[in-house]
Structures are given as C-alpha cells and as structure tokens.
Amino acid sequence: MPTAIAPPVQDPPSLAFAFEMRLQVGTPLELGDVGDGRRRIIPIAGGTFEGPGIKGTILPGGADWQMVRDDGVAEIDARYTLQTDTGQLIYIRNAGVRHAPPEVMRKLLAGEEVNPSSVYFRTVPTFETSAPELEELTRAVYVASGERHQTEVVIRVWRIQ
C-alpha cells in the first residue's frame, strides 16, 4: 500500500529584494565550438549596484565565461568584483542559465535588443567578502533575474528568507 506524503511543515520561503546591478559589458569574444558548445567570453567593463543599505560600483576586469549549448541554452558563469561606497570589496560568482525561443536567442546572441520578458535569465549569485558588516551576503542563499541589453546587463538579486 502506498505511503501518504505528509504536507510541508513550513511555509515556502519568501524573497527579500537585496539590490540591483547594472553591468556595463564589452564586445563578446567568440571562441567558437569547443566541444561542449560555443564558448563566449563577455568582458565586464564596470557598472553600479544599489539596494536597501548598500550601493557602490562594479569594478572593471570581470567577465562572463558563457557556454552556449547545442540546445540554445546559455550557461552563465560570471565573476566580478563589487566595491561599496565605503570601500568594502565583494567578490561575486553568478552562475545560471539563459534561454528563449530560437529566433529570440539568435537576436540576443547577435547583440540585438529583445524584449526581456521573452527570455528566461536566472542565476544564483554567491559572495565572498572580508567585511564583517557584509557577512550576511555569505550566510544566505540568493537568486537573481537578469536582462541582457546591447551594452548593459541588469541583474536584480533577492535573498531567500
């Protein structure tokens, strides 16, 4: 006789807005087919971030080491550094996926503007910092949604409560 599944003991987690990032990106470097898909490296030239109790700049020098699979899904692997207005540094690794219908992905990968609502762009950012006042970034799980524009990527980050 099958065993009944017990209902969840807790309510599902909620989300709390953490901050929004606006990353300025350079021209993608196309390495081509490397076996697992098409490798693209998108340089991060800088930007800004801001949320409740935190704001600052995104330092140049990071990149998104994307792998575009044969099924059209882009595996995101972005790594860069944030600097708060008070000088604290935060390393971020933002991994996830981006996909859309084939015609939308063709435009997106060609650098054309598309409607962000037609693209699934989700990531799970993780953070490292030595700043005690920012340790919450290293003690919680975060999720994010993104929008790719011609020269900018907008990422909105939420903390899972």
Please list the pLDDT of the chain residue by residue as tens digits (161 residues).
Answer: 667 787 777 889 999 999 999 999 999 999 999 988 999 999 999 999 999 999 999 999 999 999 999 998 999 999 999 999 999 999 999 999 999 998 998 888 787 889 999 999 999 999 999 999 999 999 999 999 999 888 899 999 999 99
* 106 CB-near residues (< 8 Å, 6+ apart): none
User: Are 60 and 45 spatial neighbours (Cβ–Cβ below 8 Å)?
Assistant: yes
The highest-level CATH class for domain 15-160 is: mainly beta
Distances (CA, A) of 20 to 8, 24, 68: 32, 13, 25
d(CA 125, CA 127): 7
Determine the pLDDT at residue 1: 61
